[in-house]
């Protein structure tokens, strides 16, 4: 094994030969025993590992006050947002929102539809329904209802002839 291969193994596997791959281990031991340069290289790698540990465990420099203040302000914001009462649920937007421009038309049409319905139901509708089952005949100016249903119900719809009214 030459010194460069030895250094490469040191860098890959560390200074302890037990961590080296088996095929490299014996050759590495042999070079370590025979070469001051190899021993120096191993000592350097050991020292480097110790420095890594020193850096890792050294207390870090204090963080800038401005950064600490920002971090604590973030914490306060998160706490405040969490403590805030839940906002009332927002109404879901209508899926027919694109028809909003037709709303005035609907507003105008509603009374008209109501009027039509009333006209049909109160005046024309019930009369026609009541009379629909009947057969109307006119006899000397009287409207006579000819039906086999109850005559009391139908009496209201037996209108007098115009001549009787004037008399």
Partner 1 sequence: MSFDGTGDESDEALLERFAAGDRLAARALTMRHTPRVLALATRMLRDGSEAEDVAQEAMMRLWRIAPDWRAGEAKLSTWLHRIAANLCIDRLRKRRDGGAKPEEAEAQADTSPTAAAMLIAGERAKAVSAAISALPERQRIAITLRHFEDYSNPDIAEALGLSVEAVESLLARARRTLASGFRDERRGAGS
Residues near partner 1 (CB under 8 A) are 7-8, 10-12, 40-41, 44-45, 47-48, 51-52, 54-56, 58-64, 67-68, 70-72, 74-76, 78-79, 82-83
Question: Residue 97 to residues 57, 76, 91, 104, 159: CA-CA distances in angstroms?
Answer: 63, 39, 13, 14, 53
C-beta of 25 vs 147, nearer to partner 1: 25
How near is the Cβ of 52 to partner 1 at its closest, in Å? 4
Please name the residue that has the structure tokens 């860098």: 11
How near is the Cβ of 7 to partner 1 at its closest, in Å? 6
On whether the CB atoms of residues 38 and 45 are closer than 8 A, the answer is no
How near is the Cβ of 1 to partner 1 at its closest, in Å? 16
C-beta of 5 vs 151, nearer to partner 1: 5
Cα–Cα dist 78/84, whole Å: 10
C-beta of 60 vs 111, nearer to partner 1: 60
Beta-carbon neighbour count of residue 49 at 10 Å?
13
């Amino acid at each position: 094994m030459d010194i460069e291969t030895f250094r490469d193994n040191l860098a890959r596997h560390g200074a302890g030969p037990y961590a080296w791959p088996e095929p490299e281990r014996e050759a590495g031991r042999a070079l370590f025993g025979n070469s001051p340069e190899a021993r120096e290289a191993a000592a350097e790698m050991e020292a480097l590992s110790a420095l890594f540990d020193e850096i890792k465990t050294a207390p870090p420099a204090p963080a800038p006050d401005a950064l600490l203040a920002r971090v604590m302000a973030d914490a306060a914001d998160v706490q405040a947002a969490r403590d805030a009462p839940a906002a009332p649920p927002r109404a879901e937007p209508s899926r027919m929102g694109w028809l909003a421009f037709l709303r005035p038309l609907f507003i105008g049409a509603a009374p008209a539809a109501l009027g039509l319905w009333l006209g049909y139901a109160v005046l024309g509708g019930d009369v026609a329904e009541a009379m629909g089952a009947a057969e109307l005949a006119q006899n000397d100016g009287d409207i006579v209802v000819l039906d086999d249903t109850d005559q009391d119900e139908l009496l209201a719809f037996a209108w007098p002839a115009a001549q009787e009214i004037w008399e």
